[in-house]
Chain A
Amino acid sequence: MNREEEIDDRGFKRDLLASLPNLRAFAVSLTGRHDKADDLVQDTIMKAWANQSSFTAGTNMRAWLFTILRNEFYSQMRKRGREVQDSDGLFSERFSVHPEQYGRLDLQDFRKALDKLPDDQREAIILVGAAGFAYEEAAAICGCAVGTIKSRVSRARTRLQELLGVSGEGDYGPDPGDAAITARAFGS
């Protein structure tokens, strides 16, 4: 190995490491479970490593990794078939595994609502609203038109509003401190 290649290799590993927390958050958002998400991330790392020659240095590694993970997720889902949807039941199972991550009640509700979105809407709103991709990048990752991503994000927002609104637990309301004061003021 010559010196230049060695530096390239180190750069690849460094960039991959830097993208991992974000990639993992995407995996958790897609699968809804930490154990499955980590298996998915592991498969993605191995795929990415084996295909590093196909990565063009200087381009967006994060987008490249997200694309690999997403493809992996859907191909595994197709192989296994969609698991029985029981959002609440699944959620309590997840909840018991990692209680420390869902300490805040409003985030638990949010997660449940997110789980109820169709896959295409969920990934669109996560990529654009949380992972920090532009509409164009999200469209490239999902292999669809920019307009499609925009409409999915918009439908996801509307659906989340409905879901969180119907739950009627002050999702749009004041912060928890205010709510506590209000509760005391009304003597409940």
Chain B
Amino acid sequence: MSDDDNRKKDEMTTIQHQELRPGAMPPNASISRKLREFYNAVQEEGIPDRFLELLERLEQAEKNAKSVNAK
């Protein structure tokens, strides 16, 4: 058995050991939690100014177009 195989085997044993630890999260719960943490971190950055400005411009353009049509 090569060193590489041994290392892989060690890693697998470690993972199994962690999964079986009492009180450790089941793997799916851990992945779901990390996924939400990752996603929430972006959500919490809020709305960049460029989008607020863009919406202002779109709204203004629409108003201008409507007032021209109304004339």
Residues of A within 8 A of B (CB): 1, 9, 13, 16-17, 20-22, 24-25, 28-29, 38, 41-42, 45-46, 49, 101, 106-107, 110-111, 114, 125-126, 129-131, 157, 160-161, 164-166, 168, 170-174
Contacts and interface: CB of A to CB of B under 8 A. Distances in A.
Interface of B: 11, 14-15, 18-19, 21, 24-25, 27-28, 30-32, 34-48, 50-52, 54-55, 58-59, 62, 66, 70
Given A21-B46, A45-B55, A106 B39 contact: no
A20 B51 contact: yes
Given A24-B45, A42-B54, A165-B15, 13 more contacts: A17-B55, A21-B44, A42-B51, A101-B42, A106-B34, A110-B38, A114-B38, A126-B35, A129-B35, A130-B38, A168-B15, A172-B24, A174-B24
Contact of A24 (B43, B55, B66): B43
A131 to B, nearest CB: 7
B61 to A, nearest CB: 9
A101 B45 contact: yes
Given A171-B30, A172-B15, A13 B59 contact: yes
